[in-house]
Amino acid sequence: MTLEDNARRIIDTTRFLSLGTVDPDGRARVSPVYFAPDGYDVVYWMSSNDAQHSQNIVRQPAVSMVIFDSTVPIGGDVRAVYLKATAGRVPDDELEVCAPIACRVRFPEQRQPFPVEWLYPPEELRLWRGRVTEHSVHVRGSDPEYGTGIDSRRVVAL
């Protein structure tokens, strides 16, 4: 399996990501969010405008994310995709198109799309989007093909 195939598999089969934003004081803030991919260049999540990570994104839209298989035992083969992205709230005039895409994976058991009206005021949730600018993968130092002796990241094109 290529590094790119591994990255696609992780994105396709994992539903939580760790979202890294920057607090007003410059410190990193990491938040777990349930996400839905739209291909490999866009990820969606729902969150309140009042959530600290949402406020951080409004101030500073450059974010980092990591999607990883948390079921791997310690010492096992870590499978992770690191994303650099520009994030922001999906504008209201794009919700009709984006919400069904975002919720197709989020609520696969529903036959109807997620009700778009649940993402407008006075409701608490809003749809957020990260537009991925770079994908990289975790490579074990001992990897027979890509290893360098120490664990590293390698940029991949999806």
Amino acid at 37: P
| Per-residue pLDDT at 112 | 62
* Domain ranges for the chain: 3-156
The hierarchical CATH code for the domain 3-156 is: 2.30.110.10
**Beta strand ranges found along 23-146 (DSSP E):** 28-34, 36-38, 42-48, 62-68, 80-89, 125-139
pLDDT in tens, 113-156: 667 788 888 889 999 999 999 999 988 888 888 888 998 999 99
pLDDT confidence of residue 17 = 96
Residue-wise pLDDT for 54-99, tens only, equals 999 999 999 999 999 888 777 777 789 999 999 999 999 999 899 8
CA–CA gap between residue 113 and residue 86 (Å, rounded): 26
Burial class of residue 52, CB neighbours in 10 A (0-12, 13-18, 19+): middle
